[in-house]
Amino acid sequence: MTLVEAAAQVRENAYAPYSNFKVGAAIRSMSGQVYLGVNVENAAYPQGTCAEAGAIAAMIAGGDTRIAEVAVIADSPTPVSPCGGCRQKLAEFGAGDVTVTLATTRGAMRETTIAALLPGAFSDQDME
């Protein structure tokens, strides 16, 4: 199963009763393990979580800390990029050259990198 297929499969478990916009994410860590996440909405909108954040949390809970590859899928006309907060989260755990595949349930795909999604990312080096 490809990373996009894993993201597509888990997307069905998203909890999106308000927007009806389900998103699935799959992260392959440097160890080769795949971690999954879905968006989880809440009636208090700011309290929801993004699929990418869920996959990152699962990765950390699983004992991995470095991202090797990412896939994100949604039912949209064109591939949807992660939100700004998730771009920063991806940058925290993945190098700039990590491939991010953005896909739609209709088969459209776009490949990019973490660095292209978030140029000038804030990092731990900025706090030295």
Domain extents in the chain = 3-118
- CATH code for the structural domain at 3-118: 3.40.140.10
d(CA 107, CA 98): 22
The reply to whether 92 belongs to the active site is no
pLDDT band at 18 (very low <50, low <70, confident <90, very high): very high
The answer to whether the annotation marks 39 as part of a ligand binding site is yes
Contact 79, 26 (CB under 8 A): no
Which residue from 29, 6, 35 is spatially nearest to 98, judged by alpha carbons? 29
The answer to whether the annotation marks 50 as part of a ligand binding site is yes
Look up the pTM and report it. 0.94
The answer to whether the annotation marks 53 as part of a ligand binding site is no
* Sheet of 67-74, strand order: 34-38, 23-29, 67-74, 94-104, 109-113
What does the pLDDT read at residue 120? 87
pLDDT in tens, 67-95: 999 999 999 999 999 999 999 999 999 99
Which residue is catalytic, options 5, 12, 52, 128? Answer: 52
Max intra-chain CA distance, the chain? 45
